[in-house]
Every structure is written in C-alpha cells, then in structure tokens.
Amino acid sequence: MLEKRFSGANIRQSFIDFFVDKGHEFVPSSSLVPGGDQTLLFTNAGMVQFKDVFLGTDKRPYTRAANSQKCMRVAGKHNDLDDVGRDDTHHTFFEMLGNWSFGDYYKKEAIEWAWELLTGVWGLPKADLWATCFEDEMGEIERDDEAANYWYKQPGFDPSHVLFFGRQDNFWEMAETGPSGPNSEIHLDLGPGNCANEGSLGHTCAVNLEGCTRFLELWNLVFMQYNRTGPSSLEPLPAKHVDTGLGLERIALVLQGVDSNYKTDLLSPIMDSIQRLTGHSDTEKANNITPYRVITDHARAAAFLIADGVVPGNTGRNYVSRMIIRRAARFGSLIGLDEPFLSYIAGSVIENYGDFYPELLRNQSTILDNLLREEIRFQRTVEAGVSKLETLISDSQTDRGQKLPGGKAFDLYATYGLPLEITRDIALEQDIEVDVEGFYAAMEEHRLASGAGETFGLFGEENVEIYQNLFSELVKAKKLDPEGTKYDPYDRYEVEGEVLALVRAGESNDQVKKGDFVEVLLPETCFYVEAGGQVSDTGTITSLSDPVWEIKVKDMRRPSAGVIVHIGEVMQGEPRTGDQVMARVDIQRRQDIMRNHTATHLLHAELHTVLGAHARQAGSLVAPDRLRFDFTHPEALTATELQQIEAGVNRNVLENYNLNIMFKPLQTAIAEGAIALFGEKYDATVRTITIGGESPFSYELCGGTHVRETGDIGTFLITNESSVGAGLRRIEAVTGREAYDLIQRRFQILNQTGELLDTNPEEVAEKTRGVLIQLDGARKQISSLRKEMIGQEFNRLLENVPQEDGVPVLITSLPEADAGTLRQMADRFRQRYQSGVVFLASVFNAKPLLIAAITEDLVDRGLHAGNLVEFAAQPLGGGGGGRPTLAQAGGKDPSQLDAALTNAQNWVKNQLKVVPDDQDQ
C-alpha cells in the first residue's frame, strides 16, 4: 500500500503548497494549445505560458509562480512516439511541475528550496542526490561556480556530488537568439542493481552516461542570465529569471518506489480499467504490456486534448488527436477489444484527474462522445486499410530490405484514414520500414495541389480569414458589436436587422440571386447554433421593404470567433447587403426540439434513479423528430428497467414542473452539484437548468433551449435501446407530436389487425395465439399429407425406372420434400432394386436439396454417391458428401435444380460406361 502522502495527487499538491508558502502565486496550467504561439504545436513545457514574460514583452502581477503544467510531446518528423508503450517512461502527455522567478529570487533560493523539498518534505536520502553544473568546454562562457557553491552549502549534501558538464547537458537556450543561461540538474542515484547495463563491458555507472539507468535525472533548474544576440555574443540580462521543471510521473515513480511510470497511481487506475474490459489475468496483461501502455498513455492524452478543444480532425493538432485515438483503438484490437472502448477508459482518466483539472469534468460528455464517434469512424475504414497495407507489405517482401514507399503510405491515410504512425506500427511488426520522408513529400504535394496555406496540417483548413476580416471591418464601422453577433436564442423567435454580409462560395458579395446558397451575417440572431447535442434552428430571412426577397435558412454556424452566420438558399428575389430584414425561426420545429431537450434532462435524471449514478452521459442528439442519449452502463437494460424509466419520465411530465433557469458562476454551480452536460466551452458564468420544484431531481449546466413546464413535452416514449460500444448504451425516444404520431400508427395497426382477426383490439393477442395454434396444426397436417402424396408419386415412378446400360437409374425431383422424406424414398428404391442408382432433388424452404443412393455392387465397380452429389451440386453453388452408398448435398440457388439433375444424369451415364472397360483397376 502507498503512503497517502505520496499519492500522485498529493505529490502535485505538496509541490504547489511548498512554493505557495514561499510566496509563489499558483498559476493554473495553461491549455495544451499554446495561446498565440504559432511556432508550437502543443504546450511542451511549463514555461510556455511565461515565454513573453522572459522575452520582456509581457508583465504579470506576480514575480514568483508555481504550477503543474499539462504538456504534450508528439509532433512532426522528430518525436518519440515510437518509444511510447515500448518502455516505462515515455509519454505523449505528461505533467510538469515548475517554479519560476521573474527577476525576483535567483540561484541561492532556487537551490535551497529544491533541496528542502526533496530531502525535507519528500524525504529523499541526501547521500543519493547529485547535482550537475555548467562548465563550458569551449572556454567562452563563465563556469557556474555560483550554483556549485550553493550546492556545497546545503545541509547534508556530499560536496563530491557536484559534477560539471558542458553545453549539451548544462546550458539552456530558448532559441537561436533570446534568453539563455546555465542550468543545474538534480540526479538521484537509485543504487547498484538498478542499471540495465550494469556489468556490460566498459560500462561504469555514472550521472549523464548514455544507457545508464541507475542515475535518474529528476529536476532541472534553469538560470536565465544572458540574452543571446548572435552565434557568439551573449549579453547579461538586466533581470535574471529562474525556470524549473520536475516531471510529475518521474517523481511519483521515485516516491512510490515502483519501477514503471505505469505502476504509479497516476496511471495504474487506467491500466486496471483496460484489464477489467479484457478480463485478462495479471500474467496475460504482462504478456501484452505494450498495448496496455499505449492505450493508457493515448487515452489520457486524448481526454486532455479534447477537453482543450482539440477534437479529432484532418489537420494540425486535430490530426494528432485523431492519430492517437486511432492508434489506441488499433492496439486495443490486438488484445481483443474490438468494440469501441476508449470512452470507458477515458472515464477512469476523468475520475483520476478531474479534481485537479476540472476541464475534464466540464467537458466529460464531449470527451466521451468524440472518442466514441472517432472509434466508430475508424472501424468503418480500418479493415480495408489494414488489408490494403498487408497486400502492399507482402508485395514489397518479394524485394527484401525494400522500404514501403511514402506515397503509398500517404494514400492509405488519404483513402482509408490510416495515420502514418499506425502504418509504421503494422509495418514494423513485419520488419518493414516506411519511407517517412516520402510520406511527408506526398503530403506536401497534396497540400500544394489543394491550394492550402501554411498550416501544420494535411489537407488545408477552411479559409476563416474572410470572416475575421468581415468581423474587424464591421466592428470598426460600428455595425457589429465588438463581442460579435449578439446571440439570444432563448426569448424570441424573430429578430429584425440589417444584412451586414452575404458570403457565397467563400467570398463576400454585395448581392446574390435566386437559387444561390449563401451565408447571411446579421448584427444579432435568435436562431440556435448547434451545441450540446441540440441541432441548429431553421427558418426564414425576408426583406422588410421592396424589392421582396426570401432566404430559407437551413443551418447555422460559427465560422470564426464572434461571427455567427445563417446558412440558406435564396428562394425569391435578390438579397443585398444593407437591406433591412426579419429573421424568423421555424417555431413548430423549434418547439419539437425544446420538448426533446427537456425530455433529455428528465431521461438523464431517471437513468440515475433507476440504474444508478454511474449512468453518465456519453453523447446526445436533440433533433426535432427524436432524441438520442448515450450513457455508460455495463449491460443491456431489461424490459422492466426500460418500463420504469419511461414511466418515471412521464410521471415528471404530468407533474408539470416549472423549469428553473439561472445564470451562476461556474464554481457555484459545480459546488451545488450541477451535472456538466453542455459539451461546449464554459464561460465563468454558466446557465443552469433545474427541474423538480421544491426538491429538484435534475440540475444541469446547459445552454440549450427548453420548454417552460415539463407538461409541454406531452408524452415520452422510448423507441429503442441498443449497445454502442463496450460499457456504452443508447436510448432513442420521441416526444410531443412525434410520440402522438407513433401512438396513432400503432393504434391503427392494432385496429386493422383486430378487424382482420374479427375481434376487438383488447383481444388481439389472445385471438392471435389461437390462430397460431390452429396454423401450427394445419401445417403439420399439410406436411403429413404432402409426405403421403410424395410417397404415392414415388411408388408410381418406381414401377417404371429407366435403365442405363442395364442398370436401373432413377433421377428425378420431388418438389417440397424434406431431407428425411428424400432419404426414405431412396431407401424404398434400394429395397426394390438390388442394383441401381437413385438421385433425388427437391427445393425445401427455398433451399435446394440433393440425395443420392448407390447399391453395394455398383460401389464395388467404383461408383461413389458422394462424388455424384458433389458434381451435381456445382450449379447450385453448394456442396456435400457422404458414404459411397448414401450422400447428401445442399446449395444456394434453387433455380439451377434442372442443371443439377442434368449433371447427375451425365455423371451416371459416364460412370456406368467407363467402369466395365476398366476391369483391372
């Protein structure tokens, strides 16, 4: 058992508390998407959010800061994705603890505090700690004796444990120019027996020695004291800074005394959740450790990425999100996880990290929903992609040592959605290399061909510039609020305004004409824009003065920050910018949507009541004609559970509760126990929906539109319950008009059935049961009559069997005879004839059936009933076999029964002719 004070959460918190005590401001982790930094794909170090402070272009209200920063290192041609999962230490996502001084304290305090925290608070043995300092191998920059001297002064520090290293290890530079300075690293000696290379020839364990795992680098203290202005010119910085970084996973490994990051309590709960799904024993898990590690690492990274808005996509960061999800899904398939499973795994990520990173909780449904949809999307294409790749690999194996061409790898991505990284994984498993340079060259070619701009991405992104320009022009002209399009879909169904812009085919137009598809920008709108599962509104925009024109609005979107557009088709006239218009929402459709949205909240609450609190939302669709709700639950719902849920929702509909809608600070709402349902970004103030009067049973954060009272929903009916992945269920339901239609249709069917059965609807079931019993009796009777008829018909045929070379041969069809009857008839033939061949064909239950029997004497002459049926069954697309004397075959195509009979005829003729000539065989 771990000591509580060394849990991952506690290590993180004790680090922050320690530095807050020393006058530091706790600054929450910035997003994984670096704000305003075009040079960086992802935040990859704690200092990223302070870069401008070091460069002197930004100031903060504090001079000391501490935090735990979310970091991602997976991008571009050079990254260690290949190592992730194959060892115990590499990650795509990780947490970096750090403390900073912005022109405040310097080396003395940084070293003192690091020592105090490591040895005092965390109790690491002083004798095992080492420190490295800078000494320039080129003799140009001053040796960092200042840092070394502070190390010598630390109580209990062994002075022989200060080592000097050169530029590679101990000099830090932000870039070619800019802040730089010496750094001092703290290493931990894990003791003999902890080095993989111990005892190898020429290896003596030491700090900073390549391949030595006995010494572990823990913490890097960077002292920024120079400004590099050129290749060989350093100027002293007016204000000196400290920037430190301590990997949380690594310090957790040390303090928890385990030998793998995946065994720390930061990651082991995620590993456990995979094991719960696979049902593996610990040995089986150990034998499949790479997939376990990859899934653990990637599921954690994907959850954090989606929480920061990086959903799966084709370009840049979104591509990385897609790639790691797909890579995790493929590694899952290697250990038998063939259904979507990542949202289940992500659930344990959210549970484990949600306290410190509340964005995970706030975006829970978005995370689970995106994972599920991406896995389903991948499943649709992956099989084709992998089999295509395998063909390519086996082709290239004829030419050993050949690389898989990069262009082919790119085609696999463009056509089958197989990311390069997965192609490489699969190829490597067969010892084939992929031409990575070639892949990027093909991608570049594609990017140029498609005319995309200078983005990180693959296929080029949509041109958002036009909307950004429109936005700044219109704000400057005071036609648009600086906050953007005013958005209020809650209180009105119509709004008046001036047409500010008409965008058609990616360009702004002064005027458009009938039949054009166009995006209309107005100063404000009451049309709902798709969010939190609720679909966008539709409606109309019409001119308020002559000449008359009308646009039918079919969809809504936000193409760039602050801009909302109505997407529609011009039905009449020629709309122009500057025209005064009235925009009207399709009210009936919107009301249908509102009924479904409120019903979704009631359903969610009822799931908690009937199934338990674990039934978390994983995805939702609120459309006019139905609602769909995905949630976590391990097994199919029983009929009773479904009935209880449906009845519970309808009970709350009839109670006609008011919907209590309030705006509150996010922290207050979460503290009050609101369920974060709305999948979009949360502002500091959130909208809360409470239902249940005095004792509310539903309390959610939600930006959607709702009915005033639950009674407005009318009726709620569940139409379907199904599985959408491991531990994920889906309920579909209808309300209001759609529910009434459904009831209508069902009643009609019931009434019609009643009329057909000549009874009233109440007695339809009883009457039907009676009819079925009668029918069953009649069928049995028919079947025995048919057998009798077939028997009589066959007896007639037996009287008149034709001869083939002196042997009686009966080849015929007996329509609708089953296999038993055919066998019976064949026996009858053999009782009648001591020598002969009988071949019978029938179509029973729409399937062709063949039986052949051959008497012993002819078997002695080499005839075989199995060969006969096999040959005869060929045109039927079937096959069969059996003993030499009796064999049976089936097929698929009953229309070829005559061809089968002809085949039998020919086979017998041939056999009886050939055999006598072949005496000596």
| Contacts to Zn ion by CB under 5 A | 195, 197, 205, 212, 214, 702, 704
Please tell me what DSSP assigns to residue 117: I
What backbone torsions phi and psi does residue 116 show, to the nearest 5 degrees? -65, -45
Q: Which is nearer to Zn ion, 241 or 706 (CB)?
A: 706
Q: How far is the CB of 524 from Zn ion (least distance, A)?
A: 23
Under DSSP, is residue 295 helix (H, G, I), strand (E, B) or coil? helix
In the numeric block, the tokens 């056999």 are attached to: 911
Decide if 449 contacts 458 (C-beta within 8 A): no
Under DSSP, is residue 282 helix (H, G, I), strand (E, B) or coil? helix
Q: How far is the CB of 671 from Zn ion (least distance, A)?
A: 20
Q: Which is nearer to Zn ion, 311 or 674 (CB)?
A: 674
Rounded to an integer, what distance in angstroms lies between the CA atom of residue 757 and that of residue 769?
11
Buried b (16+ CB within 10 A) or exposed e, 723-761: ebbbbbbbbebbbbbbbeeeeeeeeeeeeeebeebebee
Q: Which is nearer to Zn ion, 205 or 392 (CB)?
A: 205
CA–CA–CA angle 840, 843, 846 (5° rounding): 160
Q: How far is the CB of 704 from Zn ion (least distance, A)?
A: 4
Q: Which is nearer to Zn ion, 214 or 362 (CB)?
A: 214
Q: How far is the CB of 120 from Zn ion (least distance, A)?
A: 28
Structure tokens at 253: 């490994």
Strand order in the sheet with 563-572: 494-498, 580-585, 539-543, 550-560, 563-572, 517-521, 501-504, 507-509
Q: How many CB atoms sit inside 10 A of residue 35's CB?
A: 10
**SS (HEC) of 30-50:** CCCCCCCCCCCCCCCCHHHHH
Q: How many CB atoms sit inside 10 A of residue 99's CB?
A: 28
**SS (HEC) of 731-759:** EEEEEHHHHHHHHHHHHHHHHHHHHHHCC
Q: How far is the CB of 214 from Zn ion (least distance, A)?
A: 4
Q: Which is nearer to Zn ion, 310 or 367 (CB)?
A: 367
Q: How far is the CB of 722 from Zn ion (least distance, A)?
A: 22
Q: Which is nearer to Zn ion, 191 or 815 (CB)?
A: 191
Q: How far is the CB of 249 from Zn ion (least distance, A)?
A: 21
Structure tokens at 817: 């005879």
Q: How far is the CB of 191 from Zn ion (least distance, A)?
A: 11
Q: By C-alpha distance, which of 571, 527, 565 is closest to 549? A: 571
CA–CA–CA angle 888, 893, 896 (5° rounding): 85
| Bridge partners, 228 (sequence order) | 178, 234
In the numeric block, the tokens 């040959």 are attached to: 871
Q: How far is the CB of 302 from Zn ion (least distance, A)?
A: 24
CA–CA–CA angle 743, 749, 755 (5° rounding): 135
What backbone torsions phi and psi does residue 93 show, to the nearest 5 degrees? -105, 140
Decide if 551 contacts 511 (C-beta within 8 A): no
Rounded to an integer, what distance in angstroms lies between the CA atom of residue 603 and that of residue 533?
15
Q: How far is the CB of 203 from Zn ion (least distance, A)?
A: 6
Q: How far is the CB of 679 from Zn ion (least distance, A)?
A: 10
Q: How far is the CB of 248 from Zn ion (least distance, A)?
A: 25
Q: Which is nearer to Zn ion, 205 or 242 (CB)?
A: 205
Q: Which is nearer to Zn ion, 194 or 275 (CB)?
A: 194
Q: How far is the CB of 553 from Zn ion (least distance, A)?
A: 23
Q: How far is the CB of 201 from Zn ion (least distance, A)?
A: 13
Q: Which is nearer to Zn ion, 209 or 475 (CB)?
A: 209
Rounded to an integer, what distance in angstroms lies between the CA atom of residue 675 and that of residue 662?
14
Q: How far is the CB of 244 from Zn ion (least distance, A)?
A: 26
Q: Which is nearer to Zn ion, 419 or 532 (CB)?
A: 532
Which parts of 18-114 are beta strand (E)?
Answer: 25-26, 64-72, 93-102
Angle between helices 364-397 and 342-353 (to 10 degrees): 130
Q: Which is nearer to Zn ion, 213 or 867 (CB)?
A: 213
Q: How far is the CB of 583 from Zn ion (least distance, A)?
A: 24
Q: Which is nearer to Zn ion, 324 or 675 (CB)?
A: 675
Q: Is the dihedral of CA 719, 724, 730, 732 positive or negative?
A: negative
Q: Which is nearer to Zn ion, 214 or 322 (CB)?
A: 214
What backbone torsions phi and psi does residue 434 show, to the nearest 5 degrees? -110, 140
Q: Which is nearer to Zn ion, 439 or 629 (CB)?
A: 629
Alpha helices in 575-624 (DSSP H): 587-611
Q: How far is the CB of 650 from Zn ion (least distance, A)?
A: 19
Nearby residues of 370 by Cβ (< 8 Å), 6 or more positions away: 306, 311, 312
Decide if 900 contacts 872 (C-beta within 8 A): yes
Q: Which is nearer to Zn ion, 579 or 630 (CB)?
A: 630
Q: How far is the CB of 702 from Zn ion (least distance, A)?
A: 3
Q: Which is nearer to Zn ion, 11 or 195 (CB)?
A: 195
Decide if 712 contacts 705 (C-beta within 8 A): no
In the numeric block, the tokens 């109309």 are attached to: 540
Under DSSP, is residue 872 helix (H, G, I), strand (E, B) or coil? helix
Q: Which is nearer to Zn ion, 320 or 686 (CB)?
A: 686
Structure tokens at 274: 């995979």
Find the helix or strand (DSSP H, E) in which 670 lies. helix 666-671
Q: Which is nearer to Zn ion, 707 or 873 (CB)?
A: 707
